Structure formats: structure tokens, C-alpha cells
């Protein structure tokens, strides 16, 4: 089979399309013929050895796939060759086939494309866990979403509206602001590119506060980090919840006196560990996501596709924060 391999730590330009032996399904596993693999920010980090998981090389990046079961190993029930599925893999998605534990599979609904299916789980499951379990977002509350035009950002906008919140999306361009409003945001803020000096940071905090209203934000969803974090935290309301999701703009240092003054929480969001520790709760979240997908409350936005040999270009676009919605690598079929 073909796979886009990382043989040594480096950027997307170091990835190499090469042949590998086909995987074999072990006990409790299936082999999936991959049709689509979406791109996520961990793909940027994992090939540079900057992610919390470091698979042995060579490996293919890509942690979110959709495809067709090709073969089923011993001790697998409920699945058969030909079933259309989606799953998270950790890595290995940018290849023609992957072996994966059957317990990780979800059935791809009829009428949904492989591209859509590959763009659902990681962003939306992370976000529903963040908003419900960590942020305790309730109807009538106000939610600020940073990086709101990216995959997890748009998921937060849609899920925030589905949960009955007022949603403000913050983005880096007018084009992204239009996408956020189309996704249902009540208001969009366009911020400049970091780094910020003291005056710029203060001005951004004022912009966040103006959009949030007198009581501030009940929940702030931050998949960006960097110089955007402190201005956002300054706009949080009394007993607000600040959700730490990711750091493409860098790892911030928050002034913790603000948490005392606002009596607010700073909450880490690690969906992968949550899903592993409490698979039943995660499965319930995913079931709810499928229901919201079916009724049109959420819809993965695949804005650009790439062939397997250009998977590195897709990762580079993600690294440059140039993506709106989800980028997907098409494979096989």
C-alpha cells in the first residue's frame, strides 16, 4: 500500500510517499481501506516530535479517517467487510489502509460522504466534551470562540448555538468572519496577527469586552493560545470557565490574579484522554453529535481536498493557520 511517511522529525516538506506492507487485522481489529483523512493541528506537531505522543518511525500522520472495512480479525462482532466507517486513529491516516481496534469504529451514516465523515469526530467530539463537561455551557449563556473559523472553532460555534448560547466568534480576517457568521455566530470580531505589544493587547481585550456585554463571557473556548489568551481572559465574566484547547499561536502565560478577581476557572481539555478513560460517556457524546448532524444543527465544513501525495501541503496550510473549516486528504477509491 501507499503511505505518506515521516522518516525523521521535520516539517511537511520531509514527508515521503512510499510503499509499505499491507496491515493485517489482529484479534479485535479490522482493516479499513481509507477513503478520506482530515487534517488537524496535531498532524503539524506529531511529524516534528512536538506532540505528546511520539509513534515509532516510519509512520504516516493523520488521526481522523473514513473508509470501508476490508477485512475483519478474530473476535470482532457487529462489523463486516464493506461496512462504511469513521474513526480516530492517532496516526496512520494518510495511508491507503490501516488496522484499527473495532471498538474505535463508528458507522458512517447513509448519504454522508467519506470526506464529511473524516471531518466529524475529532473536532466535534473534542468540542462537545469541552463545552458540556469542562465548560458546563447552558442555554442563555455567552460563549467566546477564538480561532472560530478553523475546524474546532466552527464546531464550537455550531454546538454553542445548538446548546442555546449567544456565540461571539473571533478570527483573523473578514473572509473568516463571514464563514463564522454563516455557521451561526451572533457576532464576529476580527483581530490582528500576534505578537501584540501592551497597547495592542489592551485594545483586543476591550474589543472582546465590547462584544461580550456588561457581564462578560460565561465560557471562552481557546484553541489558539499565544498573545490572544490574556486579552480573552480579561473579558471573562464572574465564575466564567476558560477552556484551554490548543496552542498554535504559542503557549501563553496567564496572569493568575485575573482568575482570583473573576472567580473563574481555567480548564484543560484533553479529549483523547477523556475518551480513553470514559468510553461510555464519549460514545454518548458521539451519539448526540450524530443526532445533531442528522437534524442539520451541525455540518462538517470541508473547504478543500488534496490527493495523498499532496498531504504535506495540506499540513503546511494548517500550520500557517490558513484553513477555513476542514482540509481533507482523499485516498483510494
Query: Same domain, yes or no, for 257 and 305?
Result: no
Q: What is the mean pLDDT of the chain?
A: 95
Query: Does the residue 82 lie in any domain?
Result: yes
Concatenate the DSSP letters of all residues of 116-134 into one string.
HHHTTIIIIIHHHIIIIII
Query: Same domain, yes or no, for 326 and 245?
Result: no
Task: State the CATH number of the domain containing residue 149.
Answer: 3.40.50.720
What is the residue whose three cell numbers read 504516516? 60
Compute the average pLDDT of residues 130-158. 97
C-alpha distances in angstroms, 196 versus 168, 177, 189, 201, 231? 21, 20, 16, 6, 10
Grid coordinates belonging to 79: 462489523
Query: Same domain, yes or no, for 85 and 115?
Result: yes
Q: What is the pLDDT of residues 194-229, one digit of tens each?
A: 899 999 999 999 999 999 999 999 999 999 999 999
pLDDT at 131 over 70: yes
Concatenate the DSSP letters of all residues of 55-102 into one string.
PPSSB----EEEEEEEEE-TT--S--TT-EEEEE-SS--SBSEEEEEG
Biggest distance spanned by C-alpha atoms of the chain: 63
Query: Does the residue 88 lie in any domain?
Result: yes
Query: Same domain, yes or no, for 106 and 128?
Result: no
Query: Does the residue 234 lie in any domain?
Result: yes
Helices (H), strands (E): how many in the chain? 11, 15
Query: Same domain, yes or no, for 132 and 78?
Result: no
Compute the average pLDDT of residues 108-135. 96
pLDDT at 191 over 90: yes
CA distance 14 to 257: 43
pLDDT at res. 53: 85
Could you tell me which of 242, 51, 221 has the C-alpha nearest to residue 152? 221
Of all residues in the chain, what percent carry a pLDDT higher than 70? Answer: 100
Compute the average pLDDT of residues 100-121. 95
**Which ranges constitute the DSSP H helices of the chain?**
41-46, 114-118, 126-128, 151-162, 174-182, 198-212, 229-234, 257-262, 271-277, 279-294, 311-319
Query: Does the residue 283 lie in any domain?
Result: no
What global pTM score does this model have?
A: 0.93
Q: What is the pLDDT of residues 266-318, one digit of tens each?
A: 999 999 999 999 999 999 999 999 999 999 999 999 999 999 999 999 999 99
Query: Same domain, yes or no, for 196 and 85?
Result: no
Query: Same domain, yes or no, for 106 and 145?
Result: no
Q: Which of 253, 272, 291 is the last residue of a domain?
A: 272
pLDDT at res. 151: 92
CA distance 12 to 316: 6
Query: Same domain, yes or no, for 97 and 130?
Result: no
Query: Does the residue 30 lie in any domain?
Result: yes
Compute the average pLDDT of residues 117-133. 97
User: How many domains does the chain divide into?
Assistant: 2
Of all residues in the chain, what percent carry a pLDDT higher than 90? Answer: 94
pLDDT at res. 333: 66
Parent domain of 187? 123-272
Query: Same domain, yes or no, for 168 and 110?
Result: no
Task: State the CATH number of the domain containing residue 317.
Answer: 3.90.180.10
Could you tell me which of 111, 84, 66, 68 has the C-alpha nearest to residue 294? 111
Amino acid at each position: 500500500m501507499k503511505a505518506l511517511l515521516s522518516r525523521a522529525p521535520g516539517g511537511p516538506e520531509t514527508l515521503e510517499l512510499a510503499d509499505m506492507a499491507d496491515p493485517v487485522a489482529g484479534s479485535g481489529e479490522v482493516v479499513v481501506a481509507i477513503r478520506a483523512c482530515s487534517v488537524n493541528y496535531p498532524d503539524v506537531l506529531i511529524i516534528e516530535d512536538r506532540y505528546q505522543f511520539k509513534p515509532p518511525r516510519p509512520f504516516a500522520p493523520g488521526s481522523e479517517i473514513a473508509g470501508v472495512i476490508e477485512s475483519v480479525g478474530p473476535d470482532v462482532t457487529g462489523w463486516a467487510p464493506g461496512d462504511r466507517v469513521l474513526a480516530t486513529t492517532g496516526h496512520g491516516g494518510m495511508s491507503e489502509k490501516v488496522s484499527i481496534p473495532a471498538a474505535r469504529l463508528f458507522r458512517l451514516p447513509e448519504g454522508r460522504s467519506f470526506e464529511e465523515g473524516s471531518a466529524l469526530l475529532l473536532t466535534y467530539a473534542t468540542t462537545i466534551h469541552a463545552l458540556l463537561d469542562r465548560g458546563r455551557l447552558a442555554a442563555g449563556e455567552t460563549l467566546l470562540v477564538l480561532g472560530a473559523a478553523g475546524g474546532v472553532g466552527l464546531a464550537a460555534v455550531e454546538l454553542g448555538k445548538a446548546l442555546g448560547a449567544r456565540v461571539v466568534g473571533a478570527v483573523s480576517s473578514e473572509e473568516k468572519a463571514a464563514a463564522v457568521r454563516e455557521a451561526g455566530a451572533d457576532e464576529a470580531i476580527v483581530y490582528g496577527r500576534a505578537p501584540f505589544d501592551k497597547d495592542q493587547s489592551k485594545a483586543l481585550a476591550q474589543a472582546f469586552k465590547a462584544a461580550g456585554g456588561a457581564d462578560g463571557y460565561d465560557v471562552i473556548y481557546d484553541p489558539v493560545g499565544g498573545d490572544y489568551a490574556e486579552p480573552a481572559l480579561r473579558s471573562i465574566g464572574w465564575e466564567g470557565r476558560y477552556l484551554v484547547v490548543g496552542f498554535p499561536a504559542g503557549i501563553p502565560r496567564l496572569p493568575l490574579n485575573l482568575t482570583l478577581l473573576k472567580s473563574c476557572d481555567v480548564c484543560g481539555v484533553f479529549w483523547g484522554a477523556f475518551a480513553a478513560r470514559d468510553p461510555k460517556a464519549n460514545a454518548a457524546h458521539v451519539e448526540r453529535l450524530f443526532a445533531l448532524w442528522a437534524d442539520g444543527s451541525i455540518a462538517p465544513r470541508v473547504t478543500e481536498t488534496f490527493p495523498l501525495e499532496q498531504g504535506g501541503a495540506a499540513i503546511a496550510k494548517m500550520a500557517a493557520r490558513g484553513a477555513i473549516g476542514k482540509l481533507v486528504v482523499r485516498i483510494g477509491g
